[in-house]
């Protein structure tokens, strides 16, 4: 019997890109799932998540704005505790944001889904090259990945919600790109920084009952129309695929899908 997965990709308001090429991300994720003979249901927000999860082993989210409300979080948590797995990508750690006087950027409002996912998006500097470092090379999700690799992406600042529950897989030291006073202006301090004062977490897993969550902050993409709406530097190309064009990121996704389905992680190229 084929495995089922539920894939949520979309912006807010419904149908809006919210700064991301969700069609591209959806296509790439569907391709990876179909390669593993997974039956996929799709949505643009969490409105049908409670109905879709009972038949699914894996929930994947790539969103910019949509987030589960309290009742939907309860449904997701119960499903995970019974053995389901949630793979959250990029903007899944965001959600509702509010304006802050004197700043162009908005402050993310901490809500129930942040505790469930395990992280809370603060802000990010402009797109730049990131060196991603593996914290745990022995984990199935990091199989066949080098100790470090470089990608161009948005350098996310995320705050772990319960660090003791997080098994950290990926980190990064943004160097000069991490000097981003907007974080302190929005939140009072930069709570994404780890104890060394330099590194930030980009990926982790956490267990909930018989199941678990994996989150990876990488994955920004946009097209020319969306690029025109974003306040970026002229050096950012109109069509941007970033980590999606990295063999390492695709390997990470393949591994995470296998992990979420309870399958053996495939060897590179399989």
pLDDT in tens, 54-113: 999 999 999 999 999 999 999 999 999 999 999 999 999 999 999 999 998 999 999 999
pLDDT band at 156 (very low <50, low <70, confident <90, very high): very high
At residue 229, the pLDDT reads 54
Please state, in angstroms and rounded to a whole number, the distance separating the CA atoms of residues 173 and 179.
Answer: 11
- pLDDT of 134 > 90? The answer is yes
- Helix, strand, coil abundance in the chain, percent, nearest 5: 30, 30, 40
At residue 5, the pLDDT reads 98
Residues 6+ apart with CB under 8 A from 19: 11, 64, 222, 226, 229, 230
The chain-wide mean pLDDT, for the chain, equals 94
pLDDT band at 242 (very low <50, low <70, confident <90, very high): very high
What CATH code is assigned to 4-261? 3.40.50.880
Domains in the chain: boundaries: 4-261
How many Cα atoms occupy the beta-carbon half-sphere of 86 within 13 Å? 32
pLDDT band at 226 (very low <50, low <70, confident <90, very high): confident
Q: Which residue has the tokens 């643009």?
A: 44
pLDDT in tens, 10-58: 999 888 899 999 999 999 999 999 999 999 999 999 999 999 999 999 9
Please state, in angstroms and rounded to a whole number, the distance separating the CA atoms of residues 77 and 96.
Answer: 20
Relative to beta strand 167-173, strand 199-208 is antiparallel
pLDDT in tens, 47-66: 999 999 999 999 999 999 99
Give, as one character, the DSSP assignment of residue 236.
S
E-assigned strands of 83-163? 85-89, 97-99, 106-108, 119-123, 128-134, 148-153, 157-160
pLDDT band at 127 (very low <50, low <70, confident <90, very high): very high
**238 forms bridges with which residues in the sheet?**
none
Q: Which residue has the tokens 């082993």?
A: 57
- pLDDT of 267 > 90? The answer is no
pLDDT in tens, 162-178: 999 999 999 999 999 89
Q: Which residue has the tokens 């296998």?
A: 258
Please state, in angstroms and rounded to a whole number, the distance separating the CA atoms of residues 172 and 200.
Answer: 5
């Amino acid at each position: 019997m084929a495995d089922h997965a539920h894939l949520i990709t979309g912006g807010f308001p419904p149908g809006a890109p919210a700064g991301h090429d969700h069609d591209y991300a959806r296509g790439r994720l569907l391709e990876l799932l179909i390669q593993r003979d997974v039956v996929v249901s799709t949505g643009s927000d969490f409105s049908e998540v409670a109905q879709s999860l009972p038949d699914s082993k894996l929930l994947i989210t790539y969103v910019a704005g949509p987030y589960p409300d309290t009742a939907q979080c309860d449904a997701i948590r119960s499903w995970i505790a019974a053995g389901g797995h949630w793979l959250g990508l990029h903007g899944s750690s965001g959600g509702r944001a509010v304006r802050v006087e004197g700043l162009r950027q908005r402050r993310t409002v901490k809500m129930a889904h942040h505790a469930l996912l395990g992280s809370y998006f603060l802000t990010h500097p402009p797109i730049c090259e990131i060196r991603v470092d593996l914290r745990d090379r022995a984990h199935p999700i990091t199989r066949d990945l080098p100790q470090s690799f470089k990608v161009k992406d948005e350098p996310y600042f995320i705050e772990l919600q319960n660090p003791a529950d997080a098994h950290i897989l990926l980190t990064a030291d943004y160097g000069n790109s991490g000097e981003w006073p907007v974080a302190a202006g929005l939140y009072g301090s930069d709570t994404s920084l780890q104890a060394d004062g330099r590194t930030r977490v980009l990926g982790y897993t956490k267990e909930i009952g018989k199941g678990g969550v994996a989150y990876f902050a990488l994955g920004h993409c946009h097209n020319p129309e969306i690029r025109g709406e974003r306040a970026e530097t002229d050096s950012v190309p109109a069509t941007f695929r970033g980590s999606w064009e990295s063999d390492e990121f695709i390997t990470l996704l393949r591994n995470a899908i296998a992990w979420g389905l309870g399958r053996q992680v495939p060897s590179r190229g399989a």
